[in-house]
Amino acid sequence: MVLSRSFAQLARKSGQAKASILVAKEPLDSPPLEIHTLGHNELRKSAQRVSKVDESVREVARDMLRSMYTAKGIGLAAPQVGIQKKLLVIDIDHETPSTPPIVLINPEIITFGATVETYEEGCLSIPGVYLDVIRPSTVKISFRDEMGRPRKMNADGLLGRVIQHELDHLNGVLFVDRVTDKEGLTKELDDHGFNKDDVSPVMS
């Protein structure tokens, strides 16, 4: 996921969970992982649970973070880089070197909030395209952290939206699948060289 104009206004108000995985928040000339774009089959597969959280999983998370920072994103799911595992990395404060990212392993949504909000979203897998998406304003999730410890988290604002956006990737769903403005969607995709036939609409 990428930081849109409306998201930037929310970033300062969103909380961050602590994580022990830190990498330099600087772009690399050659990021370790390729981020697939709309139309690639890897983006439509369902990810598998991580059976064991070990150093190899943590190293994948670090490579995902390095690739995410290089692409100037705030969230990245493993399927976006061709790894079909339930693994997400998020950093909504990517401009502050000391702020740790969040690593979510085998995340699941426990409950959604009763209210919904509309905000503009973008995605590293659909560069340049920004469109409004309706999502629940809050979520409660369960997951394992980078050390394999079971956790639960309540998230709202920017963080809650990014979590929902990235969790969709684990089920082969992209944010454009949830866009209700079909005319605007077609125009944005056409303007940025994407095929609207690669969108798979779902209920928001």
Higher per-residue pLDDT: 30 or 18 = 30
Is the pLDDT assigned to residue 130 strictly greater than 90?
A: yes
**Nearest in space to 63 (alpha carbons), one of 92, 16, 21, 99:** 21
CA distance 43 to 80: 6
In this predicted structure, the answer to whether residue 1 has a pLDDT above a threshold of 80 is: no
Chain mean pLDDT for the chain: 91
Band of pLDDT at residue 4, cut at 50, 70 and 90: low
- Domains annotated on the chain, with CATH: 5-194 (3.90.45.10)
pLDDT of residue 3 exceeding 90, the answer is no
Catalytic residue among 26, 117, 120, 166: 166
State the Cα angle at 186 between 156 and 180, rounded to 5°: 40
Over residues 155-182, the mean pLDDT reads: 97
Could you give the CA distance from residue 178 to residue 155 in angstroms, rounded to a whole number?
A: 20
Region 68-94 average pLDDT: 97
Rounded to an integer, what distance in angstroms lies between the CA atom of residue 39 and that of residue 62?
Answer: 26
Give the Cα separation of 186 and 7 in Å (integer).
23
34 annotated active-site: no
User: Which pairing describes strands 116-121 and 131-136: parallel, antiparallel, or unpaired?
Assistant: antiparallel
Question: Band of the pLDDT at 13, cuts 50, 70, 90?
Answer: very low
